Amino acid sequence: MLAWTIYVSFLAAAVLLLLPENSARLARMIALIAATAGLLIVLETLATHHSGELISVAHIPWIPSLGITYHLASDGISMVLLLLTGIVAVAGILFSWNVEHRTREFFALYLALIGGVYGVFLSFDLFLLFVFYEIAIIPKYFLIAIWGSTRKEYGAMKLALYSFVGSAMVLIGIVAAYVVAGSRTTSLEELARFPFPVHFQMWAFPLVFVGFAILAGLWPFHTWAPTGHVAAPTGASMLLAGVVMKLGAYGCLRVAMMLFPLGMDPWGFHILFLNSWRDVFALLAVIGIVYGAMVALVQEDFKFVIGYSSVSHMGFVLLGLMTLNRIGLDGAILQMFSHGVIGGLLFAVVGRMVYDRTHTRDLAALEKLHLSKVIPFAAVTFVIASMASIGLPGFSGFVAELQILIGAWRAFPTAALLAGIGLAVGFAYTWRVMQKAFFGSSALAGDSALAGDSVLAAPAVHTPPPPITLPERVGAILLLGASLAVGLYPQMLLNLIIPALNSPLFEGLRKASWQ
């Protein structure tokens, strides 16, 4: 049944392309139905398989001579990310409801991207995973280049190039692993059992890890993320932040860490205070956390702030992965989910609720518009999403970051301290952008009170912006509800994640470096 998430998406994409011109309404409906169907399929599977065990969905020989099989399966980690994909996909379509330019192509590419993402999370064959990973890149490029804004060609190109460089590195690693393991199989399960020599893992691990982590926004390979997010249309930037960055982190865990766990062993010598690839990547992750937050603090473009905040939040995922203890890994996967829904919502507010109405993302310009009065729903949504983003207890971000911090404290106490600084700066930039974008500066508010309505009338918004539509409300409630549900009852997802981490697949990782 789960395999139909992929098929439904691709089928719907194909159907959309066959529609006649000027059938925007129909296209939207079809896209929404397809995405909802995907979410429902995931939920249905969750209802029957909620203990996180491995479910094999399809297992068909594909290229027998090379040992490549069409093997779709799902364990708890995949289920969490499939659920995330389903939620963000539906929300993204709801927030793209106002796309009028080449609507059917937009949704076709959107669904193709979703299909590719579902495919990656479901693949249990290395080659298949790579194919889906590549499939996901192409629609991203076009979504940005055609429907984007601010320097869209540049952003799209940069995103595509970074993705390709990353996948090239991954491909080298995969092929090398295939060859070293005897050129018999590309099955993840079998490769996970194969004892790769240590010296091979020592170079394959960083190669594949970086290849995937580029897409997860690993510093200093993160610069595609802010520009790409900013250039992308709302729906696409929600997918980018919400799901695509998780593809990278998922690949890091599923391929790099699961297949080459010995690559994280100590080198046996020190460079500065670094003793292993694990230290190196933990350091880069922490730099990303602090650095992303700091750069976000001084941005003038609303969307850039959220773009850099994604870098910072994804740094937590990578840090959690590198802790190699159970609580840190749990936290990393929870953080993927958490950032997916919260980051997606933040982009939705910026792109759809604010930019589409005011046609500016310049914080200085927004400051004069008093948006909290003009579109209160957007203001309230953004405030709640900000609170979730800075880790207010009750939302998913708190549970996730708490677990990562605890894990990091056990593995690298200094890194945990620095990540704490990142949290503080994260608090500062969120606050700044919230005040500037929605509540104006208080001095200005005072002026306007004196000058009557002149300030409100003066800006470019001559007529009041259109009210918040129903799809936007539904989308916002869907994403917030997901974050809140996980924040209040994290066991829901942990019940899926923990059995997966205990499964034989991760035995190598547990044996090699589990703490």
Residues forming the site for another protein (CB under 8 A): 141, 157-158, 160-161, 164-165, 168, 171-172, 175-176, 179-180, 183, 220, 223, 291, 294-295, 297-299, 326-327, 330, 387, 392-394, 398-399, 402-403, 405-406, 409-410, 416-417, 420-421, 423-425, 427-428, 431, 435, 439, 442-443, 445-446, 449, 489-491, 494, 497-498, 502
Residue number, 226 or 340, with CB nearest to another protein: 226
Residue type, 9: S
Peptide bond before 220: cis, by omega within 30 degrees of 0? Answer: yes
Residue number, 78 or 403, with CB nearest to another protein: 403
Instruction: Provide the minimum distance between the beta carbon of 224 and another protein in the complex, in angstroms, as a whole number.
Output: 9
| Residue 159 CB partners (closer than 8 Å, separation 6+) | 140, 141, 144, 224, 227, 228, 240
Residue number, 258 or 428, with CB nearest to another protein: 428
Instruction: Provide the minimum distance between the beta carbon of 321 and another protein in the complex, in angstroms, as a whole number.
Output: 15
Where would I find the H helices in 57-125?
Answer: 76-95, 103-122
Residue 505, classified by CB atoms within 10 Å of its CB into exposed (0-12), middle (13-18) or buried (19+), is: buried
Between CA 111 and CA 139 the distance in angstroms is 9
Vertex 231, ends 154 and 159: CA angle to 5°?
Answer: 55
Give the gyration radius of the chain's Cα atoms: 22
Give the distance, in angstroms, between the CA of residue 82 and the centroid of all CA atoms in the same chain: 12
Instruction: Provide the minimum distance between the beta carbon of 334 and another protein in the complex, in angstroms, as a whole number.
Output: 10
Instruction: Provide the minimum distance between the beta carbon of 141 and another protein in the complex, in angstroms, as a whole number.
Output: 6
Residue 449, classified by CB atoms within 10 Å of its CB into exposed (0-12), middle (13-18) or buried (19+), is: exposed
Give the distance, in angstroms, between the CA of residue 162 and the centroid of all CA atoms in the same chain: 16
DSSP strand pairing (274-276 vs 266-271): antiparallel
Instruction: Provide the minimum distance between the beta carbon of 392 and another protein in the complex, in angstroms, as a whole number.
Output: 6
Residue number, 145 or 241, with CB nearest to another protein: 145
DSSP string, 124-135: -BHHHHHHHHHH
Instruction: Provide the minimum distance between the beta carbon of 510 and another protein in the complex, in angstroms, as a whole number.
Output: 11
Residue number, 55 or 498, with CB nearest to another protein: 498
Instruction: Provide the minimum distance between the beta carbon of 497 and another protein in the complex, in angstroms, as a whole number.
Output: 8
Instruction: Provide the minimum distance between the beta carbon of 48 and another protein in the complex, in angstroms, as a whole number.
Output: 22
Exposure string of 52-67, with b = 16+ CB inside 10 Å and e = fewer, is: bebbebeeeeeeeeeb
Residue number, 12 or 411, with CB nearest to another protein: 411
Q: State both tokens at 128.
A: 């298949």
Residue number, 39 or 388, with CB nearest to another protein: 388
Residue number, 22 or 515, with CB nearest to another protein: 515
Residue number, 98 or 502, with CB nearest to another protein: 502
Residue type, 342: I
Instruction: Provide the minimum distance between the beta carbon of 186 and another protein in the complex, in angstroms, as a whole number.
Output: 14
Instruction: Provide the minimum distance between the beta carbon of 160 and another protein in the complex, in angstroms, as a whole number.
Output: 5
Residue number, 393 or 464, with CB nearest to another protein: 393
State whether residue 93 is helix, strand or coil: helix
**Sign of the Cα pseudo-torsion (382, 387, 391, 395, in order):** negative
